[in-house]
Amino acid sequence: MSDVQFELRGRDLPVDHGWMLYVELLRLAPWISEEKGLGIHPILGADSGQGELILSHRAKLVVRCRAEKIPALQAALSNQAIRLGDHDLAIGASKTRSLALYTPLYAHMVTTGSADESSFTRDIIALLDQMDISSRFICGRPQKMFDGVREIVGYSLMLHGLPLANALRVQQEGLGTNRKLGCGIFIPHKSITAVGAIDAV
């Protein structure tokens, strides 16, 4: 698995854009619906406070996928135009970045099907146990997103005390559901103070 980073040009886009982005990328590359493990990172920007993210000139569209599918992904997405609601974006050139052997790891949003914090925490403990991974974690505030059918709830999540031997596996496999909508995709993070709410083992 590697991250493919595409240049992205546009002024703004909806804060809750995961479903719209997936639908547009599916239009350009229909095969991604069947691609196991593929993850579409949430696009980063400055929150306007009015339901929109303001994009900088450094904005990127990032897709995590298997190495053998990278050429097909680049061919399908490079130099294409997409529309998220009323927002027009242009996808540019791309480069590939290998996953890092690094901890702690952070995911902007993780969904498990549980809306309340206690149930979500139990879900994460169970998922880590299933992977035979020992890690502490910090769960952030609840967030809502549209999954194409309804509004669902998830939480940001920091894994710390994660053995380096498991760092790549977590990035490759993720945690929870809705990976193609930007959930459960982990990236390296330099601090454990940005999430803070509960701490579990």
46-66 residue pLDDT tens: 999 989 999 999 999 999 999
Give 165's pLDDT tier (boundaries 50, 70, 90): confident
DSSP designation for 116: S
Q: Which pLDDT value is given to residue 100? A: 87
What torsion do the CA atoms of 100, 104, 107, 108 make, to the nearest 10 degrees?
-110
CA dist 182 and 53 (Å) reads 15
What torsion do the CA atoms of 120, 190, 164, 171 make, to the nearest 10 degrees?
50
CA dist 18 and 61 (Å) reads 12
| Ordered domains of the chain (ranges, CATH) | 2-98 (3.30.70.1890), 105-200 (3.30.70)
CA dist 68 and 9 (Å) reads 27
- What's at 147, amino acid-wise? D
